[in-house]
């Protein structure tokens, strides 16, 4: 059972470049979410989804897009990367009653 899988693990971008962070889970969880973690700031919610075709914004959504075409996948898109988006990104899914989150291993992104 792989759980939540994130790719890539590391990425370096130049300002203005675009990219997609991949997230897949094999637990058939309806709820999935993206967080960013910055030193001293804790985990902040970017976007979340309560099921295929349904997404909503979290605390810090600007500069990020998401879509949810399947239960398994929840990609995060950076359309035009900015240095302020340098961070560690975590994808998480939650069990059916959302009592606990299962996190991926994270993507460390640097935007130069």
DSSP letters spanning 62-93:
TTEEE--SSSSB--EEESS--GGG-EEEEEEE
100 interacts with other proteins by CB under 8 A: yes
Return d(Cα 101, Cα 112) in angstroms, integer.
31
101 interacts with other proteins by CB under 8 A: yes
76 interacts with other proteins by CB under 8 A: no
Pairing of strands 10-13, 107-111: parallel
Min. distance of Cβ 10 from other proteins in angstroms? 11
Task: Tell which one of 18, 53, 80, 98 touches other proteins (CB under 8 A).
Answer: 98
For residues 16-75, which are near other proteins according to CB under 8 A?
35, 40-45, 48, 50, 56, 58
Return d(Cα 81, Cα 72) in angstroms, integer.
25
Binding site residues, other proteins, CB under 8 A: 4, 35, 40-45, 48, 50, 56, 58, 90, 92, 98-106
């Amino acid at each position: 059972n792989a759980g939540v899988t994130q790719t890539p693990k590391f990425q370096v971008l130049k300002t203005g470049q675009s990219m997609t962070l991949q997230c897949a889970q094999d637990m058939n969880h309806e709820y999935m979410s993206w967080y960013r973690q910055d030193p001293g700031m804790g985990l902040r919610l970017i976007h979340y989804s309560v099921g295929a075709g349904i997404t909503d914004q979290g605390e810090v959504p600007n500069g990020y897009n998401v879509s949810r075409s399947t239960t398994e996948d929840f990609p995060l898109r950076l359309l035009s990367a900015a240095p302020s988006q340098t961070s560690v990104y975590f994808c998480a899914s939650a069990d059916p009653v959302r009592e606990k989150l299962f996190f991926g291993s994270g993507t460390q992104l640097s935007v130069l």
